[in-house]
Structure 1
């Protein structure tokens, strides 16, 4: 194509950030930027900033919620950095920094006890809750930040209770160790969600760069704060509550901005309940906006996935009841106030979704006063009939609405059971 600048030989672009064209004119090849004038990504100040702190290929290489989440994550990291400075100053004062009567040995023992109890807490928490962190990343991320603020508040108060100082800082150390496990694991889970080009390492590295920059800014502000708060406990506590309020608000906005397209129990329950009401399938954005991000303490019937056979049936009669009207590679039953699901080794992701939908419906029916007159096995058989009717159109609607049904974040245990179709 020929223009006033010459013949266009080729064109190139860097994602959606910029595009260039090559022209041939008077036997010379020239390269000119297409569209608005200005410096390229690598030369302008803004371009350099993007290269240093944003993943390669941004915004196409990340999820749509990336920028909003990172903004609020930056705000919370900055406020947390300032709160941490106040807590560290209080801890150092508590172990005797600036006190001529304090001994190095006593301060060292206190610090070692604090670190030791934190290490034990980290191991125990990962053992008990590690498998939950993927399926409920938003809740655990918010929980970690609330617990972190509680731990820092305890460290600030500890010097006012010298007799209990070691106990308080050790407890705060345990809390911070839980924060380290939950915060790090959920950050990794969110990075998996944000990566759109198998670029988890790049996103994680740039997230580290962003956090380092924020911490540097926090350090500069902290240098101005320290002379003001030294020997002024009221100002210390007042500023701590101010930073904590900002920290918690920013964290809430951050997890609320995340829009995951994969199902966990809460999102699947929200979408299924809406579908059962009016046959409308919620989009990922709508379901994520309704997803609870705080742990709930109201009484519900829990669902246990991937259990042993004995948690579903405990007799031949119950085994026959579990197989009745069931041609799926899973078995359902109600035991000890829980809906339990046995999964066969050949079950697909679609089968897992159907089993979870069925279990969620059973759980809601067990909470319903009108259904409590039925036996558990009658409700199980009714759930099979319901799924035979609604599941196929439901799953088609879910896929059309933009949900990723190739994988899930459902909390399946590892038990897999093979059974005969009829008991002898």
Structure 2
């Protein structure tokens, strides 16, 4: 009985059929592939479309169109540079032109090193932003090139140097961001092959651009026409590049995408997919670390830093709030309609995603904080707010189920720094302060608010309240109480919160073994 056996490619397409598979009677029939399709396959990754993400083809289409426009404009810019260097001018010195070229190349290479050192860590998390920014650098350099023929020697030198620096920035940003995008597109470990096919695509597009650009250069000589044509080409170039990066649906959570996802959960109790977030995220506008309150009336910014960045920064005119959890230290500064947050992650804290969730949550409730009084608000919500640890774990599990990559750290755009706590007195373990006492408070005559007491503790140089209390315009007395009495209370409702230095404090210890230092 005869049977058929097939060779298939990674996409599942049959490439050859075998009948009568005995060695003596084996017959093979290759599958016919149309010439146009065979040529197309030479420029696409093996196994396409199953070996790449769904956003690969639209990105490459727009990327090829922008590269075509850039190839034509680069020829016009290069002609202007050659004219500026004296090509065709018998009065120009070859030595002077060589010095101009050497000076520009030297400074541009130094700029490459400095930019890679300063911004290299930020390019991968913000690859869409830097991919678009690279082409802005490139087009700006080309417009500077157009100025060189009309300038005297020293201004020309400055323009050549500036254009070279912009091209260097373009090279670093474009190459690094393309590498990150390629890693996103590759699904089957085919990153090297994908890059090779992309190089083939760019070669063909560049050749076509050079052919068309050669005709354009011969036909267009008038300076005004050149400037007008350059503006059109730059507009097409940037528009196509913008459409290209807009098509990309990154699965990693950088600061902007994490903020969009977390705010949607806070507002609608819904989890967005990478496809939905790609439609909302900004390419060049605000979003990278920018936060806003529920109504949008109060805006702020959050970034990761060192312990000194959090505890040692005291800008004039800002109200300050310091928080500490088992995973991080956080500082919040507020003035008028603006707030600013800094987070220092502790050693062993793991992913910075929970800290960013808390930052987004604190920012989201800034309206209610100002409505009810900042101190009272933070005493009732900080440091973990109304969202429990179980709820946050549920959010992260839902994010993973929606297709988000939670393993990669795309939130920190600088070298990740962690704070090592060496176990001295006042450390916080398992989320609870270690030295309990009771804080009693009474009203100031000018502002009658009431009196009472609440559990408290001292940790890390701060006073922390274990239960909310109205403490604005209040004079305090600190009384140490038996630790067992504190711990016998219902601990499920405890919310450790900072007692701010802005309040007037009077300490009256009833026991001598330990006295918390006064806050100033």
Establish whether TM, by shorter chain, passes 0.5.
yes
Q: How does 1:111-130 map to 2 (within 5 A)?
A: 111-130=101-120
Residue 170 of structure 2 corresponds to which residue in structure 1? 179
Q: What SS does the corresponding residue of 2:227 show, helix, strand or coil?
A: helix
Residue 310 of structure 2 corresponds to which residue in structure 1? 312
Give the conservation status (yes or no) of the 8 Å contact 2:322–2:329: no
Residue 152 of structure 1 corresponds to which residue in structure 2? 142
How many angstroms does 1:282 deviate by?
0.9
Residue 60 of structure 2 corresponds to which residue in structure 1? 70
Q: Find the aligned partners of 1:372 and 1:84 in 2 and give their Cα distance.
A: 59
How many angstroms does 1:38 deviate by?
2.5
Q: What SS does the corresponding residue of 2:270 show, helix, strand or coil?
A: coil
Give the conservation status (yes or no) of the 8 Å contact 2:104–2:161: yes
Q: What SS does the corresponding residue of 1:70 show, helix, strand or coil?
A: helix
Residue 331 of structure 2 corresponds to which residue in structure 1? 333
Residue 362 of structure 2 corresponds to which residue in structure 1? 362
Residue 411 of structure 1 corresponds to which residue in structure 2? 412
Q: Find the aligned partners of 1:157 and 1:310 in 2 and give their Cα distance.
A: 47
| Aligned match for 2:250, one of 260, 271, 280 | 260
Across the two proteins, how many residue pairs are aligned to each other?
401
Deviates more, 1:18-27 or 1:85-94: 18-27
Q: How does 1:379-418 map to 2 (within 5 A)?
A: 381-388=381-388, 390-411=391-412, 413-418=415-420
1:289-336 CA-to-partner distances (Å, cap 9, x unmatched) read 11100143989422222x222333369xxxx9634xx3x322222258
1:206-252 CA-to-partner distances (Å, cap 9, x unmatched) read 1111111111111111221221123x212211221121111011001
Residue 39 of structure 1 corresponds to which residue in structure 2? 33
Give the conservation status (yes or no) of the 8 Å contact 2:73–2:213: no
Q: How does 1:21-170 map to 2 (within 5 A)?
A: 21-24=17-20, 28-32=25-29, 38-39=32-33, 44-51=35-42, 53-162=43-152, 164-170=155-161
Q: Find the aligned partners of 1:177 and 1:56 in 2 and give their Cα distance.
A: 33
Give the conservation status (yes or no) of the 8 Å contact 1:23–1:31: yes
How many angstroms does 1:377 deviate by?
9.0
How many angstroms does 1:17 deviate by?
5.8
Q: Find the aligned partners of 1:199 and 1:29 in 2 and give their Cα distance.
A: 33
How many angstroms does 1:392 deviate by?
2.2
Give the conservation status (yes or no) of the 8 Å contact 1:24–1:30: yes
Q: Find the aligned partners of 2:228 and 2:379 in 1 and give their Cα distance.
A: 56
1:142-197 CA-to-partner distances (Å, cap 9, x unmatched) read 11111211110111122223352221121111111111111111111111111112
Return 5+ residue gaps in structure 1 as ranges: none
Deviates more, 1:77-86 or 1:157-166: 157-166
Residue 468 of structure 2 corresponds to which residue in structure 1? none
When the two chains are superposed, the root-mean-square deviation of aligned CA atoms in Å is: 2.8
- The alignment's TM-score, normalised by the length of structure 2, stands at 0.71
Larger strand proportion, structure 1 or 2?
2
Residue 16 of structure 1 corresponds to which residue in structure 2? 11
Deviates more, 1:288-297 or 1:206-215: 288-297
Q: What SS does the corresponding residue of 1:263 show, helix, strand or coil?
A: strand
Q: Find the aligned partners of 1:263 and 1:45 in 2 and give their Cα distance.
A: 39
How many angstroms does 1:198 deviate by?
2.0
Deviates more, 1:162-171 or 1:379-388: 379-388
1:256-278 CA-to-partner distances (Å, cap 9, x unmatched) read 01011110011111111111111
| Aligned match for 2:280, one of 283, 290, 300 | 290
- The alignment's TM-score, normalised by the length of structure 1, stands at 0.86
Larger helix proportion, structure 1 or 2?
1
Q: Find the aligned partners of 2:139 and 2:46 in 1 and give their Cα distance.
A: 34
Q: What SS does the corresponding residue of 1:338 show, helix, strand or coil?
A: strand
Larger relative contact order, structure 1 or 2 (CA cutoff 8 Å, min sep 6): 1
Q: Find the aligned partners of 2:149 and 2:373 in 1 and give their Cα distance.
A: 59
Give the conservation status (yes or no) of the 8 Å contact 1:15–1:60: yes
Q: Find the aligned partners of 1:55 and 1:411 in 2 and give their Cα distance.
A: 32
1:363-411 CA-to-partner distances (Å, cap 9, x unmatched) read 4445888369314992795350333163122212212211122223111
Q: Find the aligned partners of 1:265 and 1:244 in 2 and give their Cα distance.
A: 30
- Runs of 4+, deviation exceeding 4 Å: 297-300, 364-369
Deviates more, 1:210-219 or 1:376-385: 376-385
1:62-110 CA-to-partner distances (Å, cap 9, x unmatched) read 1111111001110011100111000000010011100110010111111
1:117-144 CA-to-partner distances (Å, cap 9, x unmatched) read 2122222222222211111111111111
Q: Find the aligned partners of 2:366 and 2:94 in 1 and give their Cα distance.
A: 61
Change in Cα spacing, 1:213 to 1:192, as seen in structure 2 (3 Å) is same
Q: What SS does the corresponding residue of 2:246 show, helix, strand or coil?
A: helix
